[in-house]
Amino acid sequence: MTRSQDAYLIPRAGLALVLLGVVLLAAATRVATRTVLEPGLGVERVESFGTFDPDGHYHMRRLERALGDGGAIAGRDPLLTQGELQGVEVDLKGAPIPWPGGFTRLLWLFAAPFAPAQAGPARDAFVEMFVGSSAVVFGALQALVAALAAALLVRGSGALGAAMVAGSVVALAPAALRYSFLGMGDHHALASGLIVLSLLLIDFLLRATSDGVPVLRTVAAAGTLAVGVSIWLPCAGLMGLAAPLFALGCWRAGPGSPGARDRARTALLYFTSVALFLLPMGLSSPWPWSRLLEPSLMHSLVAACLGLCFLSSAWSPRSPWVLRGVVALILGALVIAGVPGEAQAGFQRALAWVSARDSFMGGIGESRAPGTALLNWTGPGLVLAAWGLIFPWRREMLLWRLMFLAALWAGCQQVRFIETLVPLMAVLGGVAFGSLKLVARRPRLWSLVAALLLLGVHGWLPAGPPGWTKGFALSDRESATLTSHRSIREACRWLRGQSDPGPRMAVLAQWDLGHGIEWLARRRTLASNFGAYLGADTFLAPWVALASTDDVELQESLSSQRVSHILVTSRWQRNQEPWIKNLGLEAIPAGAIVNRLVEFREVPGFLRLVHQSPLELFDRAHAQDPDPLPGARIYEVVPGAILVARVDPGEVLQVALPLSLSDGQRLMHRARATAGTDGEARIRLPYPSDGQAAGDVMGGELRWSCAGHSGVYRVSEDDVRKGRRVVLWSDS
């Protein structure tokens, strides 16, 4: 073996040790930053831990349904039946799910052999632990893929340093940890890892120098990208990056040359394979063909069009001109029919989504621009990547540089995309480090030094050290966040134990509680973080209702939306900024129904408190208050008995009803009304006063007074349910 050949060999044993170390480091940091609720702290004793990530709850619900349906991945959400979605029918089968089912399919493949066969608490606990732990595995695999990609791009003894730097950057970067810690049942880490793997396989195709088309490698690369798209649709952006690079390769090989034809045939096979792999997803989708943000035929159509661009170059220039004419005709028809119409709207919506300009994406925390906090999210990896952009300047790294710049632009638009940026900057930084001559001479020493330096630097980030440096779990903290989520889980369990109020009756809550209500309570909900995929009226309905100060309009809204219960939490202010922005308000009014329900004051007579978190789960933020607020309260929508006093106009009717809660707390329901010109003062009472409990609340003795008269009255649950008129006093 010659010296030049030996320089390109990677020390296999050393690389294996580095990859193992990277995987262990990534797993350790993700477990150390766990955010789970342990037994006795918001989860039942039979459960190992509980999670509160909305997307994780969505994946848990979808996986549990797949386990019960023999692996069939549901395309509709039967518990989201309210309102209308953009261009898609919503019926009793539920709303179409706007996210592809690839992630659920992957989870099902690994979970099915071990999951309990019967639906119930045991299977729910298994699914929650399985999905809540999966992100740790995907985060470790993401670090592994980044390390391996950097090593293969450098080769030689410098590959060890490249792998160590790339893997350590992914293992330690706060942005990567954000979506892959223990308790986060999200798909982002897996999708980012597949993006890096797809780039690596495309890179191999672009570098191919042998005669002919590498069929197996091309199909494998196409399949990897298709899997990525079926998990996270933005992965489809790789197609737009690969096409011009394939075209550049054809041009560099010389038009009409055998090399150019081979590259064109490779590109044609690649994009055709991607189109075919994605076709089942598009055919089974209820969404219009032109959607890019939802699974649709548009993704297969784009791949097919990109493949057609290479068709005429894939054969000899002597190929019939008729063939070229047909290709040009097809492409022209697609452009003329599609781009000015629905397809153009689809692309515009996708761009608005990435740039956070739509009503949903622009109004939540992870969709905000990071600004100067970008360095804190990326850590030193961003500096290494900037170095990698210019060193070493190899033509083969063009694909990685372009993808990095695209991800950097997206990351500057929204915090959520920084996680996708992390493995790309890790590869660039790793390649730059591994290409140094001093690293190639003593790879083991410099690999260890690089890892230690990265560990140290991450402890001195501008916004403070990341959570893994502190080594504690959220369940060990006494915080308002912890208390709130414990209370929400307890409230959802209570809802699940109640009888179903009927078809299409829903629970009203803040938008980010929707998936948790579906998963933990198995109840229909008006809240959903499907967000931009919903029609504007449906998306804003929960916020409009909870911000209402007009009880008459609120009752009409609850009736039209078929709401049976309202769940409010004492930490509703955390969403106050997007709430105000979306409703065009200056502030949430003090008289908004959400304020009144949380504080139990001036509650309208068609809403009755039926459950609240036990006293030991009171929000720690109010622990010093004489009457601390509970973490969650549930109100039921009822007609309410109509209490009537027939007196002279202007006389005031007052009622007071003591309430006893199952947790021992006592509250007082008070109401008053003034008699109008018709000589009647009317009060709507939502609680019975005959000793019958309403949920966890029992009414005591109802006392009333009006026009110098007073008394006690027994109102039955039947009176409340049927909205009967009850005459307390009549002067006539």
Cα 378–380–386 angle (5° rounding)? 90
Amino acid letter, residue 522? R
Q: Which of 412, 428, 458 corresponds to the end of one domain? A: 458
DSSP state, residue 602: S
Q: So what's the pLDDT on residue 474? A: 42
Take residue 709 and report the two structure tokens written for it. Answer: 């008269």
Task: Give the 3-state secondary structure of residue 731.
Answer: coil
Residue whose C-alpha is closest to residue 35's, from 188, 191, 189, 180: 180
In a domain, 81, yes or no: no
In a domain, 215, yes or no: yes
The span from the CA of 23 to the CA of 139, in Å, is: 9
- Which domain does 250 fall in, by range? 3-32+114-458
In a domain, 626, yes or no: no
Tokens 């195709």 found at: 205
pLDDT in tens, 670-711: 999 999 999 899 999 999 998 888 889 999 899 999 988 999
The span from the CA of 68 to the CA of 62, in Å, is: 10
The span from the CA of 547 to the CA of 576, in Å, is: 10
Residues 6+ apart with CB under 8 A from 247: 267, 309, 310
In a domain, 310, yes or no: yes
Q: Which of 434, 458, 482 corresponds to the end of one domain? A: 458
Whether residue 547 contacts residue 594, with contact meaning beta carbons closer than 8 Å, is answered with yes
Take residue 298 and report the two structure tokens written for it. Answer: 């548009």
Q: Which of 441, 458, 475 corresponds to the end of one domain? A: 458
Q: Flag residues of the chain having pLDDT under 70.
A: 1-9, 36-48, 81-93, 209-210, 255-256, 312-365, 392-395, 438-449, 451-484, 503, 531-536, 614-630, 732
Whether residue 183 contacts residue 175, with contact meaning beta carbons closer than 8 Å, is answered with no
Cα 190–192–198 angle (5° rounding)? 100
The span from the CA of 212 to the CA of 265, in Å, is: 9
Burial group, residue 535, by CB count within 10 angstroms (0-12, 13-18, 19+): middle
Whether residue 164 contacts residue 150, with contact meaning beta carbons closer than 8 Å, is answered with no
- Within 10 Å of residue 512's Cβ, how many Cβ atoms? 18
The span from the CA of 572 to the CA of 575, in Å, is: 6
The span from the CA of 6 to the CA of 390, in Å, is: 26
- CATH number, domain at 725? 2.60.40.3390
Take residue 469 and report the two structure tokens written for it. Answer: 């440096």
Amino acid letter, residue 249? G
Which residues are bridge partners to 607 per DSSP? 637
In a domain, 470, yes or no: no
Residues 6+ apart with CB under 8 A from 23: 140, 141, 143, 144, 167
Q: So what's the pLDDT on residue 220? A: 94
Q: So what's the pLDDT on residue 333? A: 54
Q: So what's the pLDDT on residue 106? A: 94
If you write DSSP's letter for every residue of 435-470 in order, what string do you get?
A: TSHHHHHSHHHHHHHHHHHHHHHHTT-TT---GGGT
In a domain, 55, yes or no: no
486-505: b (≥16 Cβ within 10 Å) or e: bbbbbbbebbeebeebeeeb
DSSP state, residue 534: B
Q: Is the peptide bond before 244 cis (omega within 30 degrees of 0)?
A: no
Q: So what's the pLDDT on residue 684? A: 95
Burial group, residue 274, by CB count within 10 angstroms (0-12, 13-18, 19+): buried
pLDDT in tens, 556-566: 989 888 899 99
Q: So what's the pLDDT on residue 599? A: 87
In a domain, 408, yes or no: yes
In a domain, 70, yes or no: no
- Within 10 Å of residue 14's Cβ, how many Cβ atoms? 18
The number of residues making up the chain comes to 732
Take residue 106 and report the two structure tokens written for it. Answer: 């992957």
Domain count, the chain: 2
Task: Give the 3-state secondary structure of residue 344.
Answer: helix
